[in-house]
Amino acid sequence: MNEVFVKLVSRRYNKAMNTPEAHDLLERLSNLLRMETRAFGLKYGLQPVQVEALKYLTECNRYSDTPQAVGDYLGLTKGTVSQSLKVLEQKGLLTKRHDKEDKRLLHLTPTLKGKNLIKKTTQGQHLAFALTAAQSASSTDLAQVLQTVLRTLQQANGRKPFGACHSCRFHERGPQGSVCGLTQEPLSLEDSQRLCREHEYPDEAQG
Amino acid sequence: MNEVFVKLVSRRYNKAMNTPEAHDLLERLSNLLRMETRAFGLKYGLQPVQVEALKYLTECNRYSDTPQAVGDYLGLTKGTVSQSLKVLEQKGLLTKRHDKEDKRLLHLTPTLKGKNLIKKTTQGQHLAFALTAAQSASSTDLAQVLQTVLRTLQQANGRKPFGACHSCRFHERGPQGSVCGLTQEPLSLEDSQRLCREHEYPDEAQG
DNA sequence: CCAATTAGTTTCGACTCGAAACTATCAGGA
DNA sequence: TCCTGATAGTTTCGAGTCGAAACTAATTGG
Separation between the CA of A120 and the C1’ of D19 (whole angstroms): 31
The predicted model gives A92-98 an average pLDDT of: 95
Report the pLDDT value the prediction gives residue B154, as an integer from 0 to 100: 82
List chain B residues with CB under 8 Å of A127.
Answer: 23, 26
pLDDT tens string, chain B, 207 residues long: the values are 333 333 333 334 333 345 667 777 888 888 788 777 888 888 888 888 899 999 999 999 999 999 999 999 998 999 999 999 999 999 999 999 999 999 999 999 999 999 999 988 877 667 766 666 666 665 567 777 788 888 888 887 778 888 899 999 989 998 888 999 888 889 999 889 999 999 988 875 443
For A147-201, write each residue's pLDDT tens digit.
888 888 888 877 888 999 999 999 999 888 899 988 888 999 998 999 999 998 8
pLDDT band at A18 (very low <50, low <70, confident <90, very high): low
| Dist. CA A105–CA A62, nearest whole Å | 12
List chain B residues with CB under 8 Å of A13.
Answer: 135-136
| Dist. CA B41–CA B52, nearest whole Å | 10
The phi and psi torsions of A45 (rounded to 5 degrees) equal 70, 25
B122–A20 C-beta distance less than 8 A = yes
Report the pLDDT value the prediction gives residue A1, as an integer from 0 to 100: 39
The residue type of A85 is L
Contact B3, B128 (CB under 8 A): no
Separation between the CA of A99 and the C1’ of D2 (whole angstroms): 76
| Dist. CA A46–CA A85, nearest whole Å | 11
Closest B-chain CA to A129: B19
Report the pLDDT value the prediction gives residue B14, as an integer from 0 to 100: 38
| Dist. CA B109–CA B93, nearest whole Å | 9
- Cα distances (Å, whole numbers) of residue B188 to A55, B121, B161, B178, B192: 21, 45, 21, 7, 6
| Dist. CA B196–CA B207, nearest whole Å | 16
**3-state SS, residue A207:** coil
The model carries a pTM of 0.84
A50 contact to strand D (CB, 7 A limit): yes
Report which listed range, A11-15, A18-22, B17-21, is most confident.
A18-22
- Cα distances (Å, whole numbers) of residue B7 to A142, A205, B12, B68: 17, 20, 9, 43
Residue nearest D26, CA–C1′ metric: A104
Report the pLDDT value the prediction gives residue A103, as an integer from 0 to 100: 95
Which H or E run includes A24? Answer: helix A19-43
The phi and psi torsions of B98 (rounded to 5 degrees) equal -75, 145
**Residue A130 in this model has a pLDDT that exceeds 80:** no
| Dist. CA B200–CA A176, nearest whole Å | 59
| Residue bearing the bigger pLDDT, B5 or A21 | A21
Q: Average pLDDT of chain A?
A: 81
List chain B residues with CB under 8 Å of A20.
Answer: 122, 128
- Give strand letter and number of the nucleotide nearest B77 (CA to C1'): C18
Report the pLDDT value the prediction gives residue B90, as an integer from 0 to 100: 92
Report the pLDDT value the prediction gives residue B13, as an integer from 0 to 100: 38
| Residue bearing the bigger pLDDT, A82 or A31 | A82
**Residue A142 in this model has a pLDDT that exceeds 70:** yes
Least CB–CB distance from A29: residue in B13, B26, B35: B26
